[in-house]
């Protein structure tokens, strides 16, 4: 089984990645901590910087994950700063910004950045398209889950679907599966 370190402060993310990557015969170890994230307009750039930083610091093969909600009519806001925006204006703020707005298309995106020491980072993207609900719905999620209705969700928000169903179709799962497919094909323990 190939081994890799996941640098994150979020235990739930670690457990989710561990379960998904086991299907690819990859053993995920938790590199628990908070690592520097840069300010940039693309999640790829942000995740790549952190992955490189952690790989050089620890001399290990690592990956990091970053995600965001991009609302079309708000020019991609809150995008890379979703976590900060959630903590300050929350779902209520997003709904207020969209009051009277019928164009409610949005997507959730997850980026995995992988890096080994002295190498360039490589990124893998998972995207789920959907719309922003007209009100907060469901209590089985976190963050923007109660206002995001994925196309595949039969009209339910992520928070109404609950983690098990959400994780079957989620943006994070898609990114992890792309990464798992690629990583499991690399020559034995060389990458």
Q: Which residues are catalytic?
A: 66
Q: Give the residue with the Cβ less far from its own copies, 95 or 169.
A: 95
Please, which residues have CB within 8 angstroms of residue 16's CB and are 6 or more apart in sequence?
A: 167, 172, 173, 176
Size of the site for its own copies (CB under 8 A): 24
Q: Is 78 helix (H, G, I), strand (E, B) or coil?
A: strand
The first and second tokens of residue 51, run together, are 């992955």
Q: What span, in angstroms and rounded, lies between the C-alpha atoms of 120 and 158? A: 34
Task: Please report whether residue 81 would count as binding its own copies according to CB under 8 A.
Answer: yes
Per-residue binding letters, 45-64, with its own copies (x by CB under 8 A): -x--x---------------
Residue length of the chain: 191
CA nearest to 113, candidates 33, 37, 20: 37
Q: Is 115 in the site for its own copies (CB under 8 A)?
A: no
Q: Does 102 participate in binding its own copies (rule CB under 8 A)?
A: no
Residue 114 near its own copies by CB under 8 A: no
Which helix (H) or strand (E) segment holds residue 93: the answer is: helix 90-97
What is the closest distance, in whole angstroms, from the C-beta atom of residue 102 to its own copies in the complex?
16
**Residue 6 makes contact with its own copies by CB under 8 A:** no
Interface with its own copies (CB under 8 A): 36-39, 41, 46, 49, 74-81, 84-85, 87-89, 93, 96-97, 99
């Amino acid at each position: 089984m190939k081994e890799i370190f996941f640098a994150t402060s979020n235990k739930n993310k670690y457990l989710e990645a561990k379960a998904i990557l086991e299907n690819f015969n990859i053993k995920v170890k938790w590199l628990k901590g908070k690592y520097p994230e840069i300010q940039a307009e693309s999640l790829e750039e942000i995740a790549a910087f952190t992955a490189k930083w952690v790989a050089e610091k620890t001399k290990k093969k690592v990956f990091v994950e970053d995600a965001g909600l991009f609302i079309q009519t708000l020019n991609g806001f809150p995008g890379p700063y979703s976590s900060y925006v959630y903590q300050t204006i929350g779902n209520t703020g997003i709904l207020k910004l969209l009051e009277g707005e019928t164009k409610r298309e949005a997507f959730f995106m997850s980026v995995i950045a992988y890096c080994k020491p002295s190498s360039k980072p490589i990124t893998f993207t998972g995207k789920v398209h959907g719309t922003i609900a007209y009100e907060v719905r469901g209590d089985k999620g976190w963050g923007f889950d109660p206002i995001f209705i994925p196309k595949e969700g039969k009209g339910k928000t992520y928070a109404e679907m609950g983690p098990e169903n959400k994780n079957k179709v989620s943006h994070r799962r898609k990114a992890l599966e792309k990464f798992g497919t690629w990583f499991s094909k690399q020559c034995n323990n060389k990458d």
